[in-house]
């Protein structure tokens, strides 16, 4: 059965005027853009949902090169670890969105590719001692959040990209061979290959085909050292996909 959630009636204008979905302060783009080795952060709230999404990826002027260096060398410093984590999220999201662009996908599906893993940033941390068995349900977390602000062509492929992996390994046996070790491990926690009944149920869900496409782009969007375009390139796709 399709996941049910009450969808708040939120207009595009209200979001762009400053409504935010989640509370709490996060790094400003100014602080994220500076050298993470030397700069003191300024903490503030984003002013609209698109800025909120961009902040998850480090901000508009994020210094990807410096953050990648921190990620490569490792750190025990929480401030530097934030930048390293943002570098990983940003690179993966942009690579995925670029593949959607290259495939000629419509604007909402490119937006979905960009934000498909945003639920990892919003999900609860694993219970201590159960990290190896924990499934953060990031697809559901993201979809529930996205449904408030964006059209279903964004939220539903994001929801379905996780079962999309289960679907692909069931219907395309060769697909298992392209999965990373991390993806194979998470596949086990997410339920493993689908049964015949689960395949039929999945195929009947709206936008399941795009959930599969996002999954395919996801698995190809893990190139280290990839030269990234500015995140501003993808803002029009997000804007075009907001609820009117």
pLDDT of residue 25: 33
Q: Characterize 58-85 residue by residue with b for buried, 16 or more Cβ atoms within 10 angstroms of its Cβ, and e for exposed.
A: bbbebbbebbbbbbeeeeeeeebebbbb
pLDDT of residue 72: 66
- Confidence at residue 82, expressed as pLDDT on a 0 to 100 scale: 65
User: Of 56, 88, 71, which is closest to residue 234 (Cα–Cα)?
Assistant: 56
Q: What percent of the chain has pLDDT over 70?
A: 73
Say if residues 167 and 202 touch (Cβ distance below 8 Å). Answer: yes
pLDDT, one tens digit for every residue, the chain (244 residues): 334 333 333 333 333 333 333 333 333 333 334 444 444 445 467 789 999 999 999 888 877 777 666 666 666 666 666 666 778 889 999 999 999 999 999 999 999 999 999 999 989 999 999 988 888 999 999 999 999 999 999 999 999 999 999 999 999 989 998 888 888 888 988 899 999 999 999 999 999 999 999 999 999 998 887 888 999 999 999 999 999 8
Q: What is the pLDDT of residue 164?
A: 96
pLDDT recorded at residue 87: 80
DSSP per-residue string spanning 74-123: --S-HHHHHHHHHHHHHHHHHHHHHHHHHTT--HHHHHHHHHTTTHHHHS
pLDDT at 32: 38
pLDDT score, position 107: 98
Q: 12-240 adopts what CATH topology? A: Hypothetical protein af1432 (1.10.3210)
Tens digit of pLDDT for each residue in 63-86? 777 766 666 666 666 666 666 677
Name, in order, each residue with C-beta under 8 angstroms of 164's C-beta and a sequence gap of 6 or more.
202, 208, 211, 212, 214, 215
Report the DSSP beta bridge partners of residue 43: 27
- pLDDT given at position 145: 97
Residues 6+ apart with CB under 8 A from 122: 22, 138, 141, 142, 145
Reported residue count of the chain is 244
pLDDT at 27: 36
Query: pLDDT tens digits, residue range 10-54?
Result: 333 333 333 333 333 333 333 334 444 444 445 467 789 999 999
pLDDT at 7: 35
For the chain, what are the domain ranges?
A: 12-240
């Amino acid at each position: 059965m399709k996941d049910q959630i009450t969808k708040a009636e939120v207009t595009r204008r209200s979001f762009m005027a400053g409504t935010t979905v989640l509370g709490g302060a996060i790094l400003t783009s100014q602080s994220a853009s500076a050298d993470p080795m030397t700069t003191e952060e300024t903490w503030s709230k984003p002013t609209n949902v698109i800025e909120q999404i961009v902040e998850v990826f480090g901000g508009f002027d994020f210094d990807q090169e410096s953050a990648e260096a921190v990620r490569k060398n490792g750190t025990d410093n929480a401030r530097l670890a934030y930048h390293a984590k943002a570098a990983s999220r940003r690179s993966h999201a942009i690579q995925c969105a670029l593949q959607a662009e290259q495939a000629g996908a419509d604007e909402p599906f490119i937006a979905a590719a960009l934000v498909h893993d945003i639920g990892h940033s919003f999900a609860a941390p694993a219970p201590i001692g159960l990290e190896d068995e924990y499934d953060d349900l990031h697809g559901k977390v993201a979809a529930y959040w996205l449904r408030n602000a964006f059209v279903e062509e964004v939220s539903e492929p994001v929801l379905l990209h996780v079962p999309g992996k289960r679907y692909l390994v069931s219907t395309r046996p060769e697909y298992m061979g392209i999965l990373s070790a991390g993806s194979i491990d998470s596949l086990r926690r997410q339920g493993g290959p689908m049964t015949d009944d689960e395949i039929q149920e999945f195929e009947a869900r709206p936008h399941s085909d795009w959930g599969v496409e996002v999954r395919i782009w996801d698995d190809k969007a893990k190139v280290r050292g990839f030269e990234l375009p500015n995140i501003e390139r993808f803002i029009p796709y997000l804007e075009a996909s907001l609820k009117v």
